[in-house]
Structure 1
Amino acid sequence: MKKFTLMLAGLGIAASAVPMTAAMAAPAPAYQTWQSINSRQANLEMRINQGIRSGQLSRTEAARLRSEFASLNRLEAQYRRSRPGITMAERRDLDRRFNALSSRINYQKHDREHRW
């Protein structure tokens, strides 16, 4: 009887742990995943280049966006050179600026200006 009780208790503990493990293994939603600064920079550069190739961005729009992109790269390098490195406040600032640039790229690519 004692063996049966212990086995039943062990199965109960194992069964309760399985859903918790599955919930922890689930991927985070896209809005919660954090991209590194380098991957964001590569992604933005790729989107600008793709916009030029597809004709969604004019050369002047692309030059303006690249200028803003270069400015962000310089700011990021300045943050990295500072004494403690990139702090969380600086990372949030960079994230906010990268989000704004991403929105501007999206707007410029879909503003329906004809580039013949």
Structure 2
Amino acid sequence: MMAKMPIPTDITLHQKSRQLSLSYDAQHFHLSAEYLRVHSPSAEVQGHGPGQDVLQTNKESVAILKIEPVGHYAIKIYFDDGHDSGLFTWDYLYELATQYEHKWQTYLQRLQQAGFQRSTV
């Protein structure tokens, strides 16, 4: 039987710094809008099956306009580039938070391999 991932005890949007803070009892994470946008669970980003994900580029200055709860299992994030189709489940948010270093480095490597360079914002 698989253990359920924790549900955040607090979610705070920091629009000025373009960060989303997640708290899980003793654990606290800060995820940038760019990181969340390029790892959106939407079909537009992830594709419709394994290996169909689409590399997201030029998202360095993306911001989060708002977040909304979806039932008791997810949040919907509205980004200022018009993207709002991914539902970030509690499990997926925890995965993004706890695997940040690996996922971010993998993203940066993919950008480099594809010939893209991030601009400094």
TM-score (norm 2): 0.25
Higher strand share: 2
TM-score normalised to structure 1 length: 0.26
Instruction: Indicate the structure (1 or 2) with the bigger Cα radius of gyration.
Output: 1
Higher RCO (Cα < 8 Å, 6 or more apart): 1
More helix by share: 1
